[in-house]
Amino acid sequence: MKVLQVTSAHTRDDIRIYKKISKSLNSHFKVSFLVADGLGDQVTSHGIRVFSVNKPKSRLYRFLITPIILFFKILNFKKHIIHLHDPEMIIVGLLLRIFGFYVIYDSHEDLPKQVLSKKYLNKYSSYFLHKSILAFERVFLHFFTAIICASESIKNSMKLFNDTVITVNNYPIINDSFEKLERDKNTAVYIGGISEIRGIKELVRSLEFSEKINKLRLIGSFNDENLYNEVKKMKGWEKVDYYGQLEHEKANLILRKSEVAVVTFLPVPNHLESQPNKLFEYLESKTPILISNFKIWKEFIDKYNCGLTVDPTNPQEIASTLDKLFSTLNLNQMGEIGYKTIIDQYNWENESKKLIELYNNIK
């Protein structure tokens, strides 16, 4: 069986698409990867053939032109199962079905819920767009061979559109070869995209009220230059070490040298039932977590006792809860419990079995 992974937006070394899905499938099938990054073709060290088209010149170009370019490129891959990873490729997927291809759509995010959180849309336009996307997905995804969802909450929406829908969670790849590092006292870390709805203002403001924290290490890119300039002026920024975007290995090193990891996303629709990848990567690094007190996350923390939850809209509560964690004598125990949870249940090795089973059932 031959498989072609296709993305119009992600990088060729994307963790979910390449390091997890492509490498896992490559152990059983012949896998190729088509990406829009303009970096040329290559064969990776794992024997996966990467094909490239030009990188989109703008977001509009990515949505309107890149899918057309990819479509004609995909037509050369006869007898391949096509695995698409971006919403703008859904129409391409339908055309490929008409041409006789097996097509899988991988839903990384709950797009209709994401729209409800966009600040540049007013109440009525966001609702209209939300309903329009739902109708679009319902009509087009019905014809796909299968749908893969990155979380159970996404699956609950997608199962209305297609008879073959499975969840392949974005859990971490187990790495038991980490060197044990000395953690810097009273330090916290956040890794990922930095935006207003991910709680950056409240988190930095909380540093003014914390009596114990020495440093908050921020790793990632701000989605808005104006937001970055606003946050830099806050008093709490004095306690921030901002690294910008780092390679995965470097970010992981800083994570393992920090005492607490933070995920204080704000309560917008797309967050309430989400499974942030970083939650599980934090636990896999044996780092206790401070996370928003959404129902699904609070149940997880209460069950495994690997951190604390907090109201992400309340800077003073974030500060007092951070201080409570730093004062806890069993921080190491929390970290070990979190790691054991990942080893036993929440890991990519378990998820990849569902992926392989799906492919084996495609006739």
Q: Is residue 77 part of a domain?
A: yes
Res 202 pLDDT > 80: yes
Q: Any idea what the CATH number is for the domain that residue 249 is in?
A: 3.40.50.2000
Res 356 pLDDT > 80: yes
Residues 86 and 111 in one domain: yes
Closest C-alpha among 315, 324, 298 to residue 200: 315
Q: Is residue 85 part of a domain?
A: yes
| Contact residues for 362 (Cβ-Cβ < 8 A; gap 6+) | 1, 81, 102, 145, 146
Task: Tell me the sheet residues that pair with 31.
Answer: 3
Q: Is residue 177 part of a domain?
A: no
Residues 194 and 134 in one domain: no
Residues 108 and 30 in one domain: yes
Higher pLDDT, 79 or 180: 79
pLDDT in tens, 146-185: 999 998 888 988 888 899 999 999 998 887 666 678 899 9
Residues 99 and 209 in one domain: no
Residues 275 and 311 in one domain: yes
The predicted structure's pLDDT at residue 328 = 82
Domain count, the chain: 2
Q: Is residue 179 part of a domain?
A: no
Task: Write the DSSP symbol of residue 236.
Answer: G
Structural domain boundaries enclosing 156: 2-171+347-360
| Contact residues for 197 (Cβ-Cβ < 8 A; gap 6+) | 117, 119, 265, 266, 268, 271
Res 252 pLDDT > 80: yes
Closest C-alpha among 289, 294, 291 to residue 267: 294
- Classify residue 126 as exposed, middle or buried by CB count within 10 Å of its CB (0-12, 13-18, 19+): middle
SS3 363: coil
The mean-pLDDT minimum among 128-137, 189-198, 304-313 falls in: 128-137
Res 115 pLDDT > 60: no
Question: How much of the chain exceeds pLDDT 70, in percent?
Answer: 92
Report the pLDDT averaged over residues 271-289.
Answer: 86
The predicted structure's pLDDT at residue 203 = 98
* Confidence (pTM): 0.84
